Structure 1
Amino acid sequence: MQVEAELNRNSYVRLSVVASGAQLQNQTQHLYVGQAIQVRGFLNRHENRNGLSQLVLHAQHIERIN
């Protein structure tokens, strides 16, 4: 929820996450759909075959939230 012009506004986003490398493979091995996680990394723009741009988060650290 975000406050904008003194009104509460719901904010939703769907973001693809890219996790590469052996270290992240260990961090993602036991994740399941719906599990709460915190991801740190950097944002980058990817272009699909149709030329459409998409914002992607490249994970550098993934942590489970209890």
Structure 2
Amino acid sequence: MTTNHLELSGRILRSRRFDSPAGIHHTVLQLEHKSLKTEANMQRQVYCVIQVILSGERFERLTDKLKAGVDIQVSGFIALQQSRNGQSRLVLHAENVELKN
């Protein structure tokens, strides 16, 4: 069995919604994460920006609240996504999203 699960919190930088040609609702977020972690007994500042994709009707009630500046915690799985220009990047496909205050 293989494991693919990621949980991350952060602030939304950008948000956009669209429907796929198959009629599936998608919300795409750009999530900024900042934290302080200990590695090799040293404090390290961690920073990353990752694209988060919310797909399907189960997120529809939440998507109106997912705007730039909102803090969230998201969990899901990561996958490689290839853009139209051929560049690949890791994206987080959300399975659960919680608003943080």
Shorter-chain-normalised TM-score: which range? 0.7 to 0.9
Give the CA RMSD over aligned residues.
Answer: 1.3
Residue of structure 2 equivalent to 1:46: 81
Residue of structure 2 equivalent to 1:11: 46
**How far apart in 1 are the matches of 2:67 and 2:95?**
19
Residue of structure 2 equivalent to 1:34: 69
Which structure carries more strand by proportion?
A: 2
Give, as a single letter, the amino acid of the residue that structure 2 aligns with 1:28.
Answer: T
**Native 8 Å contact 1:42 1:58 kept in 2:** yes
**How far apart in 1 are the matches of 2:95 and 2:43?**
32
- Per-residue CA deviation, residues 18-53 of structure 1 (Å, 9 max, x unaligned), is 111111121222222111111121111101122221
Unaligned runs of 5+ in 2: 1-35
Between the two proteins, the alignment pairs up a number of residues equal to 66
Structure number with the bigger relative contact order (C-alpha 8 A, sep ≥ 6) is 1
Runs of 4+ in structure 1 off by over 2 angstroms are none
Matched, 1:64 2:93: no
* TM-score (norm. length: structure 2): 0.58
**How far apart in 2 are the matches of 1:30 and 1:4?**
35
* TM-score (norm. length: structure 1): 0.84
Q: CA deviation at 1:6?
A: 2.0
Give, as a single letter, the amino acid of the residue that structure 1 aligns with 2:52.
Answer: V
Q: CA deviation at 1:4?
A: 2.1
